[in-house]
């Protein structure tokens, strides 16, 4: 049995493939970002998923692609956690960008970007990933991500920059008590996921000028730091992965056009394309 996982900060999608290259089942756990989730909690989120525990001794290979797996220390933590649970499996842990590349373009050169709970980009030359800079996460980077927009909404609310009609709906939707916010941002696990929950508010107001302006500004910042510095021609395909890109594709395409670029494709959830890639390359 082979397990393939696409792990974001908010959720992780798992698909089990049997020896006949057929899908056995699929499940979803909470996010398994080892850069922000404590090691004990990583283990709990896996062992509490009944379907995974049923086959833990049958699993021979695991391919886990995840947020927070772009640097050695958190990658080693998650790899050790998986090897401890799935004792008969060979475990490969790689960053989510590699999964995005496999899902979007397979083996063809392209710029591949993630706009989900977090954000990142790379240029794939057909063999290797090339990144402008390592991702330093939700505090320092993650332009145009869910947590980025969550922060912007909270700040605009408290500084009274949010239009009154949207502000009143925002108040009804969330607990905006300052102590509550500070607790989940500074003292609880997964602060990036907590912040990203606020970004979902924008989906219901995507036609409002305030939201469009916020999204447009964030996307332009992403292009400035995460795409334009590659200095690639208009013929280079550009793919986006993630819900932020999916729900605001119209704005994303306008920002791309403003920068004389064109979006080739947007994939909301890459797991099915990722599994197809692995099925093609198994054995």
pLDDT tens over the chain, length 283 residues: 999 999 888 889 999 998 888 889 999 999 999 988 899 999 999 999 999 999 999 999 999 999 889 889 999 999 999 999 999 999 999 998 998 998 898 888 999 999 998 999 999 999 899 998 888 888 899 999 999 999 999 999 999 999 999 999 999 999 999 999 999 999 988 899 999 999 999 998 989 999 999 999 999 999 999 999 999 888 999 999 999 999 999 999 999 999 999 999 999 988 888 888 888 776 5
In a domain, 53, yes or no: yes
In a domain, 146, yes or no: no
pLDDT of residue 113: 96
pLDDT of residue 232: 84
pLDDT of residue 67: 87
Domain that holds residue 33: 2-96+271-281
Tens digit of each residue's pLDDT (9 = 90 or more) over 217-234: 999 999 999 999 999 888
In a domain, 33, yes or no: yes
pLDDT of residue 138: 87
pLDDT of residue 174: 97
pLDDT of residue 283: 56
How many domains does the structure of the chain reveal? 1
CATH number of the domain encompassing residue 68: 3.30.420.40
pLDDT of residue 274: 85
Q: Integer distance in angstroms from the first to the last C-alpha of the chain?
A: 13
Residues in the chain, how many? 283
Rg (CA), the chain: 19
In a domain, 13, yes or no: yes
In a domain, 41, yes or no: yes
Place of tokens 């408290």: 158
pLDDT of residue 282: 64
In a domain, 140, yes or no: no
Nearest to 3 by CA among 194, 228, 274: 274
CA dihedral 267, 12, 116, 224 (to 10 degrees): -90
User: How many other CB atoms sit within 10 Å of the CB of residue 3?
Assistant: 24
In a domain, 19, yes or no: yes
108 by Cβ neighbours in 10 Å (0-12 / 13-18 / 19+) ranks as: exposed
């Amino acid at each position: 049995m082979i397990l393939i996982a696409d792990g974001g900060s908010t959720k992780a999608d798992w698909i089990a493939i049997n020896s006949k290259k057929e899908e056995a089942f699929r499940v979803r756990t909470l996010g398994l970002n080892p850069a922000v989730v404590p090691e004990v909690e990583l283990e709990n989120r896996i062992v509490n998923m009944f379907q995974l525990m049923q086959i833990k001794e049958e699993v021979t290979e695991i391919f886990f692609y995840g947020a927070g797996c772009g640097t050695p220390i958190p990658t080693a933590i998650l790899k050790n956690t998986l090897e401890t649970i799935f004792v008969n499996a060979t475990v490969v842990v790689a960053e989510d960008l590699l999964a995005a590349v496999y899902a979007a373009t397979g083996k063809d050169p392209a710029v591949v970007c993630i706009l989900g709970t977090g954000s990142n980009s790379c240029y794939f030359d057909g063999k290797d990933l090339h990144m402008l800079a390592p991702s330093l996460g939700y505090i320092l980077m993650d332009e145009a991500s869910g947590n980025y927009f969550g922060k912007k909404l909270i700040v605009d609310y408290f500084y009274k920059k949010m239009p009154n009609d949207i502000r009143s709906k925002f108040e009804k939707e969330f607990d905006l008590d300052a102590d509550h916010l500070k607790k989940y941002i500074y003292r609880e696990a997964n602060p990036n996921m907590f912040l990203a929950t606020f970004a979902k508010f924008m989906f219901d107001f995507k036609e409002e000028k305030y939201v469009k302006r916020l999204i447009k500004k964030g996307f332009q910042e992403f292009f400035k730091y995460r795409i334009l510095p590659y200095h690639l021609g208009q013929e280079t395909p550009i793919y986006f992965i993630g819900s932020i890109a999916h729900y605001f594709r119209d704005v994303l395409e306008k920002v791309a056009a403003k920068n004389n670029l064109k979006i080739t494709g947007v994939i909301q959830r890459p797991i099915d394309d990722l599994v197809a890639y692995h099925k093609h390359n198994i054995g």
